[in-house]
Amino acid sequence: MKKLLTIALMLSFAFAGQTAFADGHGHGNGNGKGKAKGKPSFVDKKHRAHEEWKREKEYEKEYKKRYKKHDKDDDRDDDVWSRRREDERRRDDDRRREDDRWERSREEQRRREDSRRRTENRSVGQVILDGVRNGQAGSN
């Protein structure tokens, strides 16, 4: 029984010592070494503010480096306008090609109708004469 009480007492002392050590100078209370050296809290705030300022400056520097080519609005506008002009040129070329195709098909249609009209109203004699002229008529 004495051994059991002794072990329980030793465990309680060990536990109490650990918690006291954790609550001591800067171990676990988030103050770090600044409080252990006796520095006032505003010094920590000043250091934190300075580090934050440095981080912001680094971020701005990286941002400028990354987006340097986009800084000028004129360049962006020029790119947009040149793309628009190029698109308009392509559309105009496509329209011209389509108009040319339409004209060619229309011309072909006119020729077919003209040849059909000529052959439609011919007499048998004209057909035979045209065949002789072209070398199609002969004795079989």
More confident residue, 70 or 82: 82
pTM for the whole structure: 0.28
More confident residue, 108 or 80: 108
How many angstroms from the chain centroid is the CA of residue 126? 73
Q: Compute the residue count for the chain.
A: 140
Comparing CA positions, the residue from 20, 26, 57 lying closest to residue 44 is 26
Percentage of the chain surpassing pLDDT 90? 24
- Copy the structure tokens of residue 24: 């001591």
pLDDT reported for residue 7 = 92
Q: How far apart are CA 5 and CA 17, in angstroms?
A: 18
pLDDT digits 0-9 by tens, 23-52: 655 544 555 555 556 667 777 888 888 999
Element (H, E) at 112: helix 73-120
pLDDT reported for residue 77 = 59
